[in-house]
Amino acid sequence: MNQPSQPEEPRLTPRPVDRPSVDPAEAATFGRPRGVEGAFDRLYAPGSSNGEKLITKPPAPESLAEAFGRPPGAENVVLQRPGDDNGGPVEVPEPALWSNGGDPWRDPGAAAVLGSPALEAGDDEDGDTERPRGAMLSLPEVLLGRRVKPVALALLGVICLVIGAAGGLVGWWVASTGNALTGEATISEAEAGKERAPGSVADIARRVSPAVISIEVVSGQSGSVGSGVVIDPQGYALTNNHVISLATSDPQAKITAVFTDGTRTQAKVVGTDPKTDLAVLKVAVANPTVIQIGKSADLQPGDSVIAVGSPLGLQNTVTAGIVSALHRPITAQGENGEAPVTYDAIQTDAPINHGNSGGALVDSTGALIGINSSIRTDADNGQGGSIGIGFAIPADDAIKIARALISDGQVKHADIGINAASVSADTSEGAQVLNVADGGPAARAGIAEGDVITKVGDRMVRNAPELTVAVRAHNIGDVVPVQLVRQGRPLVIDVTLSSD
């Protein structure tokens, strides 16, 4: 029994292909060229259909083809051919383009080609084949064998000289500039003595130093050193008494004067004045340099001064400073038990040390205005160095005493005939009389013990040393008014000074 057939289910149709729209700009860029239907395996040339032969280059311009092309009838002739033995060209068939010797890059359509090189393959192009050499000439044959022309020899000599000179110059330049640490220095030098104007310290020292001597005193194992100043053409020299005191106490002592030029000569003592620490020597030398004498009375504090001498045995030493003070009474202990030394000093800050004693203190003109004598030191034993406080005997007093010593061998000072001590009280300041010498000038004038002397003549008296220098500033026999205080009452007494 036939089964009834089932109705067929409807079949599904293929889905429609989604073809998006093509952008005309992209189609023009990436689409097939116009007229090409198949794949991109052929090029399109305008005016030809697909598959036709392409013309890869245009024909040469007529002018260039005429200038560089083969002439008519020379289609198979190259530009250059090797010659034969007679100089004529050799016909060599041009190799095929596909041969091993052909140019693989040759354009078969070119109007001209380059042929083979002018030399044959076996010619000596690179110089490998040895050529015969001429005979080598010895030096005598060159110079004397007349094998070389004289002009050539002269030219060769000139060339050698030029090469040698050039080599020497190069060597000198390399030697002078090769080492950065050595070479020729270029030093700027100042004119000598540019700062040594007239009146400078150097100029004064040059003029004064020959007149200043170094004094050496030797007695057995003992000795001393100091300085001196030549003040007279006959060889008289002024110095300090304490410099030559060893010679005055010992007749065997020897005094030697040493000049700046190294001359050494013996010196003799002419006279001494222990009270003012001055002495005069005479040196055995002909025509010595003499110092110019100035006036110490014209000095003022602040004036420039120069000290010349031999401090600590160092000869020809020059130091400079100023006048620190004037009329500074100085008292020092006498030598060998002698009377104390007292003088009216010039104070200076020019460095003065032991050995400067007896040397010159000069002003800005080089004139002698003082004899260096002592220093103030802060050492307990008095052996310390300079602290800028030095003292010199004024030249006015020193020359006066020197003249007396040279003429008489001794000197006398004015004396008032009292012993005094420094005092400082509420009512008075001066020198108090401790005792009065019987029959002396003070006793005859009526000065009594206990009186305080405050002025002698025009000089103020503030202490005992100043009383001594004030009296010695006058001559023996002068009548001097003395101002004093007695029991609180001021008095003025005229005193006639006598000799000490």
Task: Assign residue 422 the CATH number of its domain.
Answer: 2.30.42.10
The structure tokens 């001055």 sit at 278
CA atoms within 13 A on the CB side of 16: 3
Residue 212 within any structural domain of the chain: yes
- What integer pLDDT is reported at residue 26 of this predicted model? 82
Q: Determine the residue type at 150.
A: P
Q: Which of 346, 375, 408 finishes a domain?
A: 408
Statement: the pTM of the whole predicted model exceeds 0.95: no
Q: Would the CA dihedral through 326, 332, 335, 337 be positive or negative?
A: positive
Tell whether 23 is covered by a domain. no
Buried b / exposed e along 260-270 (16+ C-beta atoms within 10 A): beeeebebebb
CA–CA gap between residue 170 and residue 227 (Å, rounded): 64
Which residues lie below 8 Å from residue 81, measured CB to CB, with a gap of 6+? 89, 90, 91, 92, 115, 116
CATH of the domain at 234: 2.40.10.120
Q: Are residues 400 and 429 in the same domain?
A: no
Say if residues 429 and 467 touch (Cβ distance below 8 Å): no
Residues 6+ away with beta carbon under 8 Å from 85 = none
Helix (H, G, I), strand (E, B) or coil at 268: strand
Q: What is the pLDDT of residue 97?
A: 47
Report the distance separating Cα 219 and Cα 499, nearest Å.
34
Q: Note whether residue 458 is domain-resident.
A: yes
The residue among 83, 114, 145 that closes a domain is: 114
- Do 386 and 257 have their domain in common? yes
- Residues in the chain, overall count: 500
Q: Which residue among 355, 389, 408 closes a domain?
A: 408
Q: Please report where in the chains the tokens 């040493």 appear, as a residue.
A: 258
Residues 432 and 487 in one domain: yes
Q: Which amino acid is at 152?
A: A
| Catalytic residue IDs | 242, 277, 357
Q: 482: which 2 tokens? A: 């003395």
Which residue in this structure is represented by tokens 């070119």? 110
Per-residue pLDDT of the chain (500 residues; tens, 9 = 90+): 455 555 566 666 677 767 778 788 887 778 777 776 665 555 545 555 555 555 556 777 877 777 777 777 666 555 555 555 555 555 555 555 445 555 666 666 665 556 666 555 555 555 556 667 766 767 677 666 666 777 877 888 889 899 999 988 888 887 776 666 666 677 777 666 566 777 789 999 999 999 999 999 998 888 889 999 999 999 999 999 999 998 888 888 999 999 999 999 999 999 999 999 999 999 988 889 999 999 999 999 999 999 999 998 899 899 999 999 999 999 888 777 777 899 999 999 999 998 999 999 999 999 999 999 999 877 655 566 778 899 999 999 999 999 999 999 899 999 999 999 998 765 568 999 999 999 999 999 999 999 999 999 999 999 999 999 999 999 999 999 999 999 889 999 999 999 98
- CA separation, residue 123 to residues 68, 128, 131, 281 (Å): 30, 10, 13, 117
H or E stretch at 243: helix 241-249
> 331 and 228, same structural domain?
yes
Question: Cα(262)–Cα(266) distance, rounded to whole angstroms?
Answer: 13
Structural domain including 436 reads 414-499
Closest CA to 283 of 266, 270, 271: 266
Query: How many domains would you assign to the chain?
Result: 3
pLDDT reported for residue 432: 93
Comparing C-alpha atoms, which of 120, 107, 117, 119 is closest to residue 68? 107
pLDDT at 60: 75
460 assigned to some structural domain = yes
Tokens coding 348: 């200076």
Helix (H, G, I), strand (E, B), or coil: what is residue 467?
helix
Q: Using alpha carbons, select from 400, 397, 402, 433 the residue that is nearest to residue 418.
A: 433
Extract the tokens encoding 179: 């080492």
Residue 388 buriedness (CB in 10 A; 0-12 / 13-18 / 19+): middle
**Sign of dihedral through CA atoms 356, 358, 363, 366?**
negative
The answer to whether position 37 is within a domain reads no
Neighbours of 277 (CB within 10 A): 28
Q: Give the long-range contacts of residues 375-384, CB within 8 A, separation 24 or more.
A: 383/354
Residues 492, 393 share a domain? no
Integer-rounded Cα Rg, in Å, for the chain is: 63
Q: Are residues 321 and 220 in the same domain?
A: yes
393 and 462 in one domain? no
Give the position of tokens 């198979």.
76
Residue 13 located in a structural domain: no
Q: Which whole-number Å values give the CA distances from 461 to 453, 454, 481, in the listed order?
A: 7, 5, 13
Is residue 174 in some structural domain? no
Is 133 a member of any domain? Answer: no
In this structure, the answer to whether residues 387 and 471 fall within a common structural domain is no
**Shared domain check, 480 and 348:** no
Handedness of CA 145, 149, 150, 152 (dihedral sign): negative
Statement to judge: residues 403 and 459 lie in one domain = no
Residues 454 and 348 both lie in one domain: no
Render 13-80 in DSSP notation, one character per residue: PPPPP--PPPPHHHHHHHSPPTT--S-S-S---TT--TTPPP--SPPPPHHHHHHHSPPTT-TT--S-
For residue 128, which amino acid is it?
Answer: D
pLDDT given for residue 94 in this prediction = 53
Please calculate the CA angle 483-486-488 and round it to the nearest 5 degrees. Answer: 105
- Are 493 and 398 within one domain? no
